[in-house]
Amino acid sequence: MTKSSDKKDERIQDAPLWMWGIALLGLVLVLGSILFMLYGAVIGDTSPPDVVVRVESIEDAGSGFLVMFRTINEGGSTAAGLTIEGTLMNGTENVETSNTTIEYLPSHSERKGGLFFTLDPRQYELELRATGYEEP
């Protein structure tokens, strides 16, 4: 062996214990991340999207009204191009409809959005629902 390789081996052996602890922690984190991704790919939840839409607030917006909502995907699959429809109902009569698209809603996540109406949603029965999506 040469002198430089002897010095290198000596430096590795003389490394403080805390450095070995940090190296071990890094190894555990990397292996844990790999195992977690493999578990999700092989055994993870593959149920279809289960979308829930909830009204957050109703606000005046210029010449109309804005209904802020939260969309939650409780299913195991992603919904892309998710369409949300809001309808103002007066009994059985559809008074006004508004819709929007949420481009990407991963599984077990949520997104916020808004729908514009010309009539005050507080004066009618407001119905929000997801009407369709596509698989990414």
Kindly give the parts of the chain with pLDDT less than 50: none
What token pair was written down for 96? 């006004």
Q: Examine the domain organization and report whether 38 and 55 are in the same domain.
A: no
92 and 57 share one domain: yes
The CA distances from residue 80 to 55, 74, 100, in Å, are 21, 14, 13
pLDDT digits (tens, 9 = 90+) for 49-65: 999 999 999 999 988 99
Q: Is 68 exposed, middle or buried (0-12, 13-18, 19+ CB in 10 A)?
A: middle
If asked whether residues 57 and 123 sit together in one domain, one would say yes
In terms of Cα–Cα distance, which of 50, 61, 71, 37 is closest to 120? 61
Domain range enclosing 66: 51-134
* Domain count along the chain: 2
Looking at the structure, tell me whether residues 33 and 72 fall in a common domain: no
> pTM of the prediction?
0.70
Is the same domain home to 129 and 84?
Answer: yes
pLDDT confidence of residue 57: 96
Q: Are residues 88 and 24 in the same domain?
A: no
Query: 60 and 115: one domain?
Result: yes
Are 85 and 130 contained in the same domain?
Answer: yes
- Assess whether 61 and 112 both reside in one domain: yes
- What pLDDT, on a 0 to 100 scale, did the predictor assign at position 75? 92
Which CATH number is 55's domain given? Answer: 2.60.40.1620
pLDDT at position 9 is 63
Judge if 17 and 83 occupy the same domain.
no
